[in-house]
Structure 1
Amino acid sequence: MSRHHSRICGMLLLAGGVLLAELGGAGLAQAEPTAPPASAPLFQPGPGGNGKTTPGADAPRLASVDNFRDVAGTGAGYPAAHGKTVNRGVFYRSNAIVPNDADLATLAGLSLTTAYDLRGPDEITQKQDKLPAGVNYVNIPVIAGNIDEFIANIHTPEDARAAMQDGNRKNVTGATERAGYATLLTGLTNTGGAQVFHCSAGKDRTGWVTYLLLSIAGVAPTTIMDDYLLTNEYTKDSMIKTLAYIKQSQGEAAAAKWEPLLGVDKSYLQAGIDQLAADYGTVDKYLADGLGLSPDTINKLRVKLTH
């Protein structure tokens, strides 16, 4: 693979977060993400909530870690089952945590206890986490496949979309994926304090874990999907910059081919959900039979998620 092509792959894998094998390439777009607006939240839970509110501000919008957010959403938190609400300030999700000094100080104010990194060694080499003092770092690699084969099989935008859908199916069928998610969910359950989990772009592996957590809490499927799609808003500026580089270096056709890898699409997560339904029937059965989590762990996690 040429240095130029390798740089493109690195940008796609780390900026776009390819789910099948986010194994880093030779470089990244040099521009930092544009600072997001600190105005109204991008998504508010719809009607039908229990009216409860959670004190304190929403999760901060970070300029240098643009897909950092609270699993519970914004405002009062997402409505959950049995009239409850998802607890804010408990679980955060993110892309690679490489903050500038101002964002590092903001993260320090969240009193995080643990950061879980779902990336493989090559990804970590590209962007090593930079965490506030005292935060415990745990690496749980959730990777499968071969990057060269993955890239070689993508010739059209349709190929890219199909690859992302297949990657989400592997969250259900893949032994490596299931083992990693089991370890992560067990850690989230048994560790105290605020915790954050992430992959490279914070959208694929991270998106699947968030789907599981919100499902455990009993959040409505439409709300879960809306939350999943927020990646396209949070990382819009980064995606624009990455596409601009590809257009400049490889042309319009190449940019069109790779664009589906950079964001998320409803069909990506839905492919994993449909596979879960086909193989296990319910999320609880997937957690128990697919991930090997005990009923006690699942119940403890459900209690931790909601109030």
Structure 2
Amino acid sequence: MLRHRPVIAAVVLAVALSPTVGLAGLAHAQPPAPLVPNIDTGSSALLGPHLPHGDAPRLTSVPNFRDVAGTGAGYVGAEGARMAKGVFYRADAIVPDDADLATLDALRLEAIYDLRTDEEVGEKPNRLPVGVDYVRIPILSGNLYEMVDQIGSPEDARNMMREINRAFVTGDVERAAFRDLLTGLATTEGAQVFHCTAGKDRTGWASMLLQSVAGVDDATIMSDYLLTNEYNKEWAAKTRASIAATQGEDVAQLFEPLLGVEDSYLQAGIDELESRYGSVADYLTDGLGLSPDTLAALKDKLLA
């Protein structure tokens, strides 16, 4: 039995949910090594209005920044069409150093959607390129501190993540927020970014929905979801070390499942979706209330 659980929960969340808390030197670390051969650093300097988009640049201070379309030629979607690169990006909290801020500015982003709660934003406000539209769409019902306080084993932590993903299907607040996000992405011109704190759960669910609209196969969608573990590898290792140093190894083991993703997390939400709606398409229309025109606009943007 852990003593002073509310205090421990607060400390763990302060460390685990803020990308740079207690992680001195992370901004100067090398980017995590790629999981698949065709991920590279890209070069925003090469991007122009008449040139194909390269891979999303790797950002040391926003490690989970990446293109929803994948790398290389882009993921294969409906009827063999490739997903369009440089349209929708996903990320963790956008707190770039000066070099990464210049890189983001070169991408000519039109809008950034922040899916974090007020508490998360207060812990780590974004630092954004000049002129970008900043849209808040908080997605998370319940109290994170209370949820973490109930964790008594690593499996409890995993179950918490599964329940969060199920809530993306069952929660009225969550569904309304995802409707607003997808509507914004469909109706706003130019390159756009959506993000949460670690860029893995709320962001991962939104990416799954977009890739499903594009017609990407289930195995590729899951593989892309799991890439968070590679992009966030250095952050997760340093965060775990910080928790162990301040709260002890037992606590670090207890909360380690919160620092990454497992296929069962996303699958729990997908299973709930299929149980209630039958398919992603029906969830989008019946669950989120998206119109055929909105979905058609998204698909047009998503496919090259």
TM over 0.5: yes
2:18 aligned counterpart, secondary structure: helix
Cα distance in 2 between the residues matched to 1:119 and 1:177: 12
CA distance in 2, matches of 1:299, 1:126: 37
Q: 1:257 aligns with which of 250, 254, 264?
A: 254
Normalising to structure 1: TM-score of the pair? Answer: 0.89
Equivalent residue for 1:36? 31
State the partner residue of 1:267.
264
State the SS of the aligned residue for 2:169: helix
Of 57-66 and 6-15, more deviation after overlay is shown by 6-15
SS class of match (1:14): coil
- Equivalence map 1:1-307=2 (5 Å): 6-15=10-19, 28-31=21-24, 32-33=26-27, 34-36=29-31, 42=36, 55-307=52-304
For residues 56 and 91 of structure 1, the distance between their equivalents in structure 2, rounded to whole angstroms, comes to: 12
Contact kept in structure 2, 1:43 and 1:73, CA below 8 Å? no
Task: Give 3-state SS (helix, strand or coil) of 1:150's partner.
Answer: helix
Task: Name the CA shift for 1:292/1:142 in 2 (closer, same or farther; >3 Å).
Answer: same
Letter of the aligned partner of 2:243 in structure 1?
Answer: I
- Letter of the 2:17 partner, please give it: L
Structure 1 CA distance for aligned equivalents of residues 202 and 37 of structure 2 = 21
Q: Is contact 1:7-1:28 (8 Å) kept?
A: no
Contact kept in structure 2, 1:99 and 1:130, CA below 8 Å: yes
8 Å contact from structure 2 (residues 61, 95) kept in 1? yes
Mapped to 2, the partners of 1:183 and 1:79 lie a distance apart of 26
- Once the two structures are TM-superposed, the CA of residue 151 in structure 1 deviates from its matched residue by 1.7
Q: Whole-Å Cα distance in 2 between the matches of residues 112 and 148 of structure 1?
A: 33
How many residues get paired?
287
> TM-score of the superposition, structure 2-length normalised?
0.90
Identify unmatched segments of 5+ residues in structure 2.
Answer: 40-50
Amino acid of the structure 1 residue aligned with 2:218 = P
CA positional deviation for 1:35: 2.7
1:171-226 CA distance string (max 9 Å, x none) = 00011110100000000000000000000110000000000000000001100000
Q: Name the CA shift for 1:178/1:5 in 2 (closer, same or farther; >3 Å).
A: closer
Q: Report the Cα distance in structure 2 between the residues aligned to 1:244 and 1:35, rounded to whole angstroms.
A: 18
In 1, Cα distance between equivalents of 2:34 and 2:266: 26
| Aligned twin of 1:50 | none
**CA distance in structure 2 between the aligned counterparts of 1:40 and 1:248, rounded to whole angstroms:** 28
After superposition, what is the alpha-carbon deviation per residue over 1:243-265, rounded to whole angstroms, capped at 9, x for unaligned? 11111222221111000000000
**TM superposition shift of 1:303:** 1.2
Code of the residue aligned with 1:198 in structure 2: it is H
Percent sequence identity is: 54
Report Cα offsets for 1:93-134 as digits up to 9, x if no partner. Answer: 000000000000000110100000011111111111111111
Deviates more, 1:141-150 or 1:157-166: 141-150
The alpha carbon displacement at 1:28 in A equals 2.2
Partners of 1:155 and 1:237 lie apart in 2 by 26
Residue segments in structure 1 that go unaligned for 5+ positions in a row? 16-26, 46-53
How far the C-alpha of 1:40 sits from its partner, in A, is 6.2
Q: Relative to 1, partners in 2 of residues 1:10 and 1:43: Cα closer, same or farther, differing over 3 Å?
A: farther
Instruction: Please give the per-residue CA displacement for 1:114-158, whole angstroms capped at 9, x wherever unaligned.
Output: 000011111111111111111010001111112332122101001
CA RMSD after TM alignment: 1.8
1:30 to partner: Cα distance: 3.3
The residue type equivalent to 2:12 in the other structure is I
Partner of 1:49: none
Q: In 2, Cα distance between the equivalents of 1:124 and 1:83?
A: 39
1:300 Cα offset (Å): 1.2
Alignment correspondent of 2:45: none
